[in-house]
Copies of this chain bind each other. A is one copy, B any other.
Amino acid sequence: MRIIRNIKQMCKASKKARLNGQAIGFVPTMGALHPGHLSLIRKARYENDKVAVSIFINPTQFGPREDSKKYPRNLKQDTYLCTKAGVDIIFYPDTKEIYPDNYRTYVMVEELSDCLCGKFRPGHFRGVATVVTKLFNIVQPDVAYFGQKDAQQAIIIKRIVEDLNMPLKIKVMPTIREGNGLAMSSRNVYLSPDERRDAAILYQALNLAKGLIREGNRDSLDIIKKMRQLINKKKNAKVQYISIVDLENLKPMPKIEGSVLIALAVWIGKARLIDNIIVKLSNCHG
């Protein structure tokens, strides 16, 4: 496995693979790899000739009151996990390599970026859209893999690829969960053992919603109210938002029909956790 720190080297490596007719699978990450990332890497390994993983803590996707410097890092462990998983290349650029001093170009996706998490993290999805566009141009993958846990991110990235006519496919893989239902996240390291137990409430609330819909409840506001009541029972937990939205345009759906995304962000102690499920109404009859 190679660790490449330089854009030119990375371009050269992917150009070589392409000229050899090899398909490149790509998993962009901010490091601190967990079983969620590894499930993406395994899928990429299974479906492609070459697998590239990027590790880059992208400063432009952190909001004004968020600190990218505090984001968990563990390169040694990440390298070990990637080697074991059969990754060919880790692309690990430093910040100046990606954003030199005169950097000025940004990619943004209107409407999809200002709701849900975007409402509470201004500029976040502009940063995500920009870095992902750059990474796709550098790595030139055939397929890039993202986790359903970051549902809004996945929807925005699919939109960018389609809108900007980028020559790759996006695959979104299921959320990987701990035994108690807590979605795997690099941010889970911020949780104390008690908080980690309480954090299971996010998934329990999502399942409550699914159950209510299955029983015939179509009133989003009522469902959200009941989810909020459940979460508020945990004194460690503070709801940031709970939304039930259209799966395509992320607009709130007061009356549930078709497929909906149920998404939420909850503070558990010092960790802001997110989770979501997709509920298809056709699956919920009877």
Residues of A within 8 A of B (CB): 7, 11, 102-112, 129-130, 133-134, 137-138, 140, 159-160, 163-167, 248-249
Contact = CB atoms under 8 A, between A and B. Distances in A.
A217 B7 CA distance: 44
21 contacts: A7-B165, A11-B165, A11-B167, A102-B248, A102-B249, A104-B111, A104-B159, A105-B108, A105-B129, A105-B160, A105-B163, A106-B108, A106-B109, A107-B107, A107-B164, A134-B164, A134-B165, A137-B164, A137-B165, A137-B167, A140-B167
Contacts of A103: 163
Given A104-B110, A105-B159, A105-B160, 8 more contacts: A11-B165, A11-B167, A102-B249, A104-B112, A105-B110, A106-B108, A106-B110, A137-B165
Contacts of A167: 11, 137, 140
Task: State the majority secondary structure of interface residues on A.
Answer: mixed
A277 B151 CA distance: 49
A138 B133 CA distance: 15
Q: Sort A-B residue pairs by CB-CB distance and give the 8 closest, nearest first.
A: A105-B163, A137-B165, A104-B110, A138-B165, A105-B109, A104-B109, A134-B165, A105-B160
A133 B133 CA distance: 11
A157 B11 CA distance: 20
A107 B106 contact: yes
Given A107-B106, A108-B105, A133 B164 contact: yes
Contacts of A112: 104
Nearest to A165: B137
